[in-house]
Amino acid sequence: MRFPKLPRSMRQLSTHVLAIALGIVLTISTLQVLPSQAEPAPIAPAVDTSEIIAQRQSPANSAIGTSSFVTAAVNRVGTAVVRIDTERTITRRIDPFLQDPFFRRFFGDGFPQQMPSEQLRGLGSGFIIDKSGLVLTNAHVVDKADKVTVRLKDGRTFEGKVQGIDEVTDLAVVKINAGNNLPVAPLGSSSNVQVGDWAIAVGNPLGFDNTVTLGIVSTLKRSSAQVGISDKRLDFIQTDAAINPGNSGGPLLNGRGEVIGINTAIRPDAMGIGFAIPIDKAKAIASVLQRDGRVAHPYLGVQMLTLTPDLAKQNNTDPNSPIQIPEINGVFVMQVVPNSPAASAGIRRGDIIVQVDGKAITSAEQLQNLVEDSRLGQVLQVKVQRGNQTQQISVRTGELQNAS
């Protein structure tokens, strides 16, 4: 059966209708797959980012910004930090040979009796601890100085009078007369300091005034014996904040701008290592120096070494060792100072101190601290191991004299 053939115009119309219908179908299917532009995109639930930001905020990030904690700390104490210039006159005498009568008859009397005087100048730092003009610094900064000049940050200079020096703890107090309204450095507590805390050193290193260096507290209670100055009685704060000659006597600050130590440049060979006297120790010594001008330190009079079983064993297995040492923990007496309390009490070289007043002694630092905390004239019951025997010896402490 044959269908009648449609006119050409009808065929073109049907083709256009078919194309339009196909376009509508494709558009509808596409809209089912893609999100409608008229509909808003799904909104995720609101999240509080403050906690996340707080967790990500590190001390280093907080230190970098428009308001540095270092700047705030230095501003809090900066005007109380001073520069200390010292002068000392040294007169050298002529060699006695040049004063021999025969020499003078031969060469004449045109030789002077004394050599020309020589001026030695020193530089250090300090900080004001009282509005009346009390300045705390290191003893080695002002020791034996004929003239002390204190320069404030604002440029004013004053003659300083040394009120007291304690060589054993390397501390000194200087007084200036500049009225009663001077800036005072806020003193913190070194007992609260922890390893890893911020450490800010302020002072005048190498003559560069008002210099600030930043680091951390590297370790605590670094003994003076470990540092290499056995004539001192100190447990230092060790820091990697740069401390150079001229920094001596300046403050070591925590992140809040409180003084936690007194910078002490004592190791010229140190690279990236500095030491500071804990402020708690300095407070106690400063008050005594202000009142009495000096500090009395008790002592026994022994040169000592920490002894361990391993160290004793090394000695005993050495065929060239002059003595055999008991393999125990204690303090080995290397030398007894003549006319000292220890010598008078009968302590001998080679004795091992194992106990004082019933307390076990295991290190030289422990024994030194125990004696330092005792009273002058106090009788200490010292138990020593002498060979295979133990003895109880009563030692009355004496007063340690300064090296000067």
Residues serving a catalytic function are 140, 170, 248
3-state secondary structure of 26: helix
How far apart, in whole angstroms, are the C-alpha atoms of residue 269 and residue 335?
Answer: 29
Nearest Cα neighbor of 373 from 344, 397, 346 is: 397
The DSSP H or E segment spanning 24 is: helix 8-33
Would you state the structure tokens that stand for residue 147, as one six-digit string?
């003239």
Name the percent of the chain in helix, strand, coil, to the closest 5.
25, 35, 40
How far apart, in whole angstroms, are the C-alpha atoms of residue 61 and residue 69?
Answer: 11
Would you state the structure tokens that stand for residue 289, as one six-digit string?
């120096």
Q: Which residues pair with 212 in a beta bridge?
A: 202
How is residue 269 annotated by DSSP? T
How far apart, in whole angstroms, are the C-alpha atoms of residue 84 and residue 203?
Answer: 10
Distance between the two ends of the chain, CA-based, in angstroms? 139
Range 305-310, long-range pairs (CB < 8 A, 24+ positions): 305/331, 305/332, 305/334, 305/364, 306/331, 306/332, 306/362, 306/363, 306/364, 306/365, 307/331, 307/332, 307/352
CB 347 within 8 A of CB 302: yes
Q: Which parts of 131-209 are beta strand (E)? A: 134-137, 147-151, 157-166, 171-175, 198-203
**For tokens 């002002």, what's the residue?**
142
Q: Do you know the residue count of the chain?
A: 404
How is residue 36 annotated by DSSP? P
CB 163 within 8 A of CB 174: yes
Alpha helices in 153-252 (DSSP H): 224-227
CB 167 within 8 A of CB 139: yes
